[in-house]
Structure 1
Amino acid sequence: MARRYNLYLVANMADLQPCPLRTDPSSSCPPDGRWQFNTNVVFRSDGLLVARYHKYNLYFEDAFDTPPQPEIITFDTPFAGRFGLITCFDILFHEPTVTLVKQGLRQLIYPTAWMNQLPLLDTIQFQRAFSLGSNVTLLAANIRNDRLIMTGSGIYTPLSATYHHAQKGDPQEGRLLVARVPVLDPLWVNQSVASEEGVVREDSTSSSATDSEYCHKDSCSDSPPSSPTFIASMMYDPFTFVLLNETEGEVKVCNGTFCCSLQYQRSPQSSSEELYALGAFAGTHTVNGRYALQVCALVRCAGSDPTSCGQEVEEAETKMDFLLEATFGTKYVYPSVLASKLVLEQPEHLETAATGRVSMKHSNMTAGLVTACLYGRMHHLDSE
């Protein structure tokens, strides 16, 4: 296929590799003397195999083995420079994903079989969030399996998102996504990091009053008034929530020493029956995987009772202008705004300060708000 159509082709498949069962009995070699890996292969336009990556972070994959060492695999192209390879669950972990980004990789290819997990980890929601938070281009191809709620692929840059998210009842057929994207490989653009005009992600050591009509909490003279909090499960984690009881205002919620703050204003046409809450969680997620988090999330609750906050919701009518902020103990923070019927919105303004404070401002929504999230990954705490 690559040779016939003169293109670079990345495919996910199984790979069988012999392993040193007799020469190295202490290795992770299975009893039958062979490894079975979940594998990405890359063929260049003349049909030559140029890269092979074995997935490191398995997710309930009994048919596959974890490679003895994480692999940091890249390949070069004559049209856009260097690309890195990751697969599915890898995107949440330091190896190989963060290592690739820390090495300056700004273009990643990402085959996946991801189950939609609202309200924080829907497929396109986190694909977009990772692209924004890491300031990279992500080419994401998800398998289509409605029974396992696997759907949603996209082409994401720090400034754009071209994606498709199949809905219930859609035909069981694939969708080809095509987009023209900027080359971000630093070596391709004269050894300097590519810049995109109008990019919203900024790194700064202080906040400027001209950035927003909102003041940042560290510089505000008054803290938001405290409101009653409650605990509810979201994504199997015990989030501390506070309700948004007014049409506009300020709220703050803490989970331990980790605090989230929100300034918001509902649109006049919003549904008064829809309940929203601001939630915070800092700790180790332990269900279907183990990884440490700091998360701030503004979510539409599934019903009118606070106990429904954190449950899956796909639709909303309430549009909201907001500024969501928190100080994180990690620089790996992934921002997302998910609107009704699984539509992505580009945050109006993102800012990361040297102190770890991350701010996400958004207004003029095109559809009702389902989730606004700052999803922080505390890689250094994963082993604790």
Structure 2
Amino acid sequence: MFSLPNRNRIKMKLVLIYFLIFGFYHVNTEMVVHSLDSFRAAVYEHDVIFPADRTKIVSRDEALKVMMENLMVYSKQTSLASLNEAQMIVFPEYGLYGLVWTRETVAPYLEYIPDPNVEMWNPCNEPSVYNSTEVQHVLSCIAKNNSLYVVANMGARQPCKISDPKCPVDHQYQYSTNVVYGPNGDFVARYFKFNLYSDEKQFDKPERVDLTTFDTPFGRFGTFSSLDIMYHDPAITLIEKMNITNIAYPTAWVDELPLLSAIEFHSAIAEGMNINLLAANLHLPSAGYHGSGLYWSLGTAIDAAYYYNDSLSSSGSLVVQTLDPLFSRPTGGNIKRLSAIYDSFTSNKTYEIKINGDIYSAVLVQVPHDELNICQGDLCCSGFYDTYLEPGELFAFGAFDGMHTEGERYYLQACVFIKCANNTLESCGSPTKVSSSYMGKMAFSGNFTTKYVFPEVLTSENGVPGLMTKIWYYMGDLIIDAGLNGATLSISLIGRDYSRDNLA
């Protein structure tokens, strides 16, 4: 049984009463789900079959042999998804030929991909309309033979004219591309990836962002891939300006604990933006790629619709779940209500800890209940908690306000409560999957300069990270009132201030 100090009990009661009165009213008036029908979707985390040697240029036939092996897996998994009554399946980024390429070595794996908005085409029925489009033919037939939507990622080669001043020396643009096929095999959507990782030298960045959507009987969908989810375009524009609440999301995402685990961050985006996110990742645990799921606006769908297995002996997995279409989002912005009922805070020594390459200001958490605050830059994070704290375990409550520059560059604001890996100050911020401390009640918030704040909760059961949804996230405040199922790894609010991405 958790025991809060009297002052904390009063505050927690005020928070919960406020939420019960005003929070549910907000939910019932502004978060109404106007669904016609639920839909059943699938994602497949794919253990990609790599070509033997990715350092040399191969023939088109050799490239096709590798891709057809992967497509055989796609076909089998789509049949299984169909047997489970799925109406859409999403496959991962780089799922047809794997990772680590140069512009020259990836070229045999690419195909010309026409614009489906200009000309209707069914590659399964009309395979000879365009030359060397064998992959598109098979994907179209997989969709048709199983009567569902197929979303996959492949490589495109798009010829350009010598008169084009940006035309590459090989006279073609090369794009990482999402393709979508309807239940009858029709080619319905094409998306060229806009936000490339710094090591994706084999692909070109499109001159302008594709805002790609496609309609289904169960709602309108958008699609983008991988790093796109970290930036305003296309992700936020699709969701806010075009009212897209269903996203088909092929990705190749490295699991970066403690804050950027795939299941952790992708579920937080779904909850923070009130969308359905169908996220299919590669399954390459030896390189850190794993974690896929069907996430909805409460973080995950019912019955744990995600897959997390980083064992080197594990294989890919199919995840199938029923989701509800969403047609409206909460309005209002990032108004802080919890801060209005704080009176004073425990004064703790401030430390610097490194999390995912960023230097956070932090205070250590060493008692089972307390009030906390920490500031960095323009951001101040405040909260209180009541937890079962395993003797010897150490946590940190931290804040970061600045430019994330390790790997990719974007402006980040974060309030975090994390397990210190080896229960030492020096290990706070290092990846860990082990915890024995359980959160009972918690409420915290920050004075973010952005309304784009995403709530993360990652737990541990026997050293295996997992998700749980017993939290309230309302107008930027994260509240836990019934405890977490699983020991605590991290509880965080991750803010993205897109307006500051271009700061020097």
When the two structures are superposed, what TM-score results if normalisation uses the length of structure 2? 0.67
SS in 1 for 2:234: helix
Pair 1:366 & 2:490 matched: no
Pair 1:250 & 2:391 matched: no
SS in 1 for 2:201: coil
**Counterpart residue number, 1:343:** 466
Pair 1:217 & 2:217 matched: no
**Match for 1:279: what amino acid?**
G
CA drift at 1:62? 1.6
**Match for 1:168: what amino acid?**
S
Mapped to 2, the partners of 1:46 and 1:65 lie a distance apart of 31
**Counterpart residue number, 2:307:** 164
CA drift at 1:347? 4.3
Pair 1:334 & 2:454 matched: yes
The one of 31, 54, 72 equivalent to 2:169 is 31
Which of structures 1 and 2 has the bigger CA Rg?
A: 2
Mapped to 2, the partners of 1:368 and 1:261 lie a distance apart of 22
Pair 1:16 & 2:154 matched: no
Pair 1:58 & 2:180 matched: no
**Counterpart residue number, 1:285:** 404
**Counterpart residue number, 2:47:** none
**Counterpart residue number, 2:117:** none
Change (3 A) 1:204 1:240: closer
Mapped to 2, the partners of 1:307 and 1:361 lie a distance apart of 29
Identical amino acids, percent of aligned pairs: 36
CA contact (8 A) 2:285 2:312 kept: no
**Counterpart residue number, 1:325:** 445
Pair 1:274 & 2:393 matched: yes
Change (3 A) 1:205 1:111: closer
Mapped to 2, the partners of 1:301 and 1:291 lie a distance apart of 25
CA contact (8 A) 2:336 2:445 kept: no
Change (3 A) 1:42 1:205: closer
Higher helix share: 2
* Deviations 1:32-73, CA, capped at 9 Å, x for gaps: 110110000001111111110010011121211111111100
CA drift at 1:107? 0.4
Change (3 A) 1:286 1:323: same
Pair 1:383 & 2:502 matched: yes
Identify unmatched segments of 5+ residues in structure 2.
Answer: 1-141
**Counterpart residue number, 2:145:** 4
* Deviations 1:299-356, CA, capped at 9 Å, x for gaps: 000123212111101121100121121121111111110001211011421111xxxx
SS in 2 for 1:373: strand
Mapped to 2, the partners of 1:205 and 1:237 lie a distance apart of 24
What is the root-mean-square deviation of aligned Cα atoms in Å? 1.7
**Match for 1:243: what amino acid?**
L
**Counterpart residue number, 2:35:** none
CA drift at 1:239? 0.3
Pair 1:179 & 2:321 matched: yes
Mapped to 2, the partners of 1:156 and 1:229 lie a distance apart of 36
Higher strand share: 1
Mapped to 2, the partners of 1:374 and 1:76 lie a distance apart of 33
Change (3 A) 1:205 1:313: closer
Mapped to 2, the partners of 1:304 and 1:72 lie a distance apart of 45
Mapped to 1, the partners of 2:406 and 2:319 lie a distance apart of 33
Mapped to 1, the partners of 2:291 and 2:422 lie a distance apart of 26
SS in 2 for 1:177: strand
* Deviations 1:222-275, CA, capped at 9 Å, x for gaps: 2212210011111111100101121101010111231111201112xx411110
**Match for 1:229: what amino acid?**
T
CA drift at 1:140? 0.5
Map residues 10-159 of structure 1 onto 2, 5 A cutoff.
Answer: 10-20=151-161, 22-25=162-165, 27=166, 29-59=167-197, 60-78=199-217, 80-102=218-240, 103-159=242-298
When the two structures are superposed, what TM-score results if normalisation uses the length of structure 1? 0.88
CA contact (8 A) 1:202 1:351 kept: no
Mapped to 2, the partners of 1:379 and 1:218 lie a distance apart of 27
Mapped to 1, the partners of 2:333 and 2:195 lie a distance apart of 33
Identify unmatched segments of 5+ residues in structure 1.
Answer: 187-192, 195-200, 209-215, 353-357
SS in 1 for 2:277: strand
Q: Which runs of 4+ in 1 moved over 6 A?
A: 204-208
**Match for 1:286: what amino acid?**
T
